[in-house]
Amino acid sequence: MATIINDLKETFRRGEIHIRLIFINAAVFLLFTLVQVVLMLFNVSISHWLQWLEMPASVTNFLQQPWSILTYMFMHGGVIHLLFNMLWLYWFGQLFLYFFSAKHLRGLYLWGGICGALLYLLAFNIFPYFIPYAEYTYMVGASASVLAIVAAVAYREPNYRVNLLLLGSMPLKYFALLVIGADMLFVTGENAGGHIAHLGGALGGLLFAYLLHKGTDLTRYINNVIDFCMNPSIFKPNPGKPKMKVNYGSKAQKSADTTTKKQQKAEEPKSQDVSQQERINKIREKIKQSGYQGLTEEEKRELFNASIR
């Protein structure tokens, strides 16, 4: 048993961020399932307590448990619910990391879940069709977070082809439109809250990818909060500036040194950046043609290094 636990710990430690998120979701599900089984043996129900971690549709209930906007996206209603969400997170999380960084995925998972929860809350308190059900409706699941990842990749690489079991190969943009369109068609169905959250997550993912292309990272502040919680010392203020070492010399010598440095900076070749970008573009074209598995180890490493810059 100890060996299995150590193996799981090592897999978690070495795993990419989407693997770690899968581990966290699975661990939360197993923990609450085991607690529920034990309590049921004593005829005690855990449902009432679980509601404090689920996302409510009622504004009043949400104000009593604001933390649920984060906790709900790590909880699931059953094994099948967990399985499908984690499969999507694995497939599209891996694809996401080809074009973005691990920190982007970590932040987008939370950002997409928050966007899904907010749209769900908004819809159930604005549209007359949903208002009668708001007081008794709760939501769980990572679907909104996963749809944010799908939408972000589709925006970044719309023509990347994905292979589907029954539909065959199609560009990612059409797959994303198919999924989002299905959510819109069934938004008044039995799982209305889930479909609304999917749309919110997808919109959050599109907004992230669009603004990142413009130079603004929506996940930056989320990641800063996570980094601070994990290691507060990295944000401690600098205790003081180091003393400067002053070298005395002639003004002519200082002027000559400054001129030399400026000339060296001006003469630095810019062709390296251009050639590197051309190299990355060629690698991405290769991915579209033969898939990620067709890359060499050097090409995979170069693509990863470019994504975290």
Residues 170 and 303 in one domain: no
- Three-state DSSP at 32 gives helix
- Read off the pLDDT band of 283 (50, 70, 90): confident
Residue 245 lies in a domain: no
Q: Please tell me the predicted confidence (pLDDT) of residue 258.
A: 53
Tell me the mean pLDDT in the region 113-131: 97
Residues 88 and 174 in one domain: yes
Pairing outcome for strands 161-164 and 168-171: antiparallel
Residues 173 and 42 in one domain: yes
- DSSP lists the bridge partners of residue 170 as 162
Residues 190 and 305 in one domain: no
**Domain around 222:** 2-230
Residues 145 and 280 in one domain: no
For residue range 243-279, list pLDDT tens digits in order: 555 454 444 454 555 555 555 554 455 555 657 777 7
Residues 93 and 193 in one domain: yes
CA 57 to chain centre: 23
Residue 309 lies in a domain: yes
Higher pLDDT, 9 or 27: 27
Euclidean distance between CA atoms 294 and 297, whole angstroms: 10
Percent of the chain with pLDDT over 90: 62
Domain end point (choices 203, 230, 257)? 230
Residues 137 and 43 in one domain: yes
Number of domains within the chain: 2
Residues 287 and 198 in one domain: no
Tell me the mean pLDDT in the region 199-214: 96
Nearest residue to 81 via CA among 28, 2, 12: 28
For residue 61 the two structure tokens come to 């209930």
Residue 241 lies in a domain: no
Residues 299 and 181 in one domain: no
Higher pLDDT, 264 or 205: 205
Residues 6+ apart with CB under 8 A from 123: 130, 196
Nearest residue to 82 via CA among 29, 131, 33: 29
Residue 65 lies in a domain: yes
Q: Please tell me the predicted confidence (pLDDT) of residue 271.
A: 55
Least confident of 6-10, 65-69, 233-237, 245-249: 245-249
- Read off the pLDDT band of 238 (50, 70, 90): low
Residue 69 has pLDDT above 60, yes or no: yes
Residues 182 and 300 in one domain: no
DSSP one-letter code for 23: H
Residue 7 lies in a domain: yes
Residue 70 has pLDDT above 90, yes or no: yes
Residues 284 and 182 in one domain: no
Residue 261 lies in a domain: no
The mean of the pLDDT values for the chain is 85
Q: Please tell me the predicted confidence (pLDDT) of residue 2.
A: 66
Residue 284 has pLDDT above 80, yes or no: no
Q: How far is CA 152 from CA 90, 95, 105, 164, in A?
A: 15, 11, 10, 19
Q: Please tell me the predicted confidence (pLDDT) of residue 248.
A: 45
Residues 275 and 185 in one domain: no
Residue 24 has pLDDT above 90, yes or no: yes
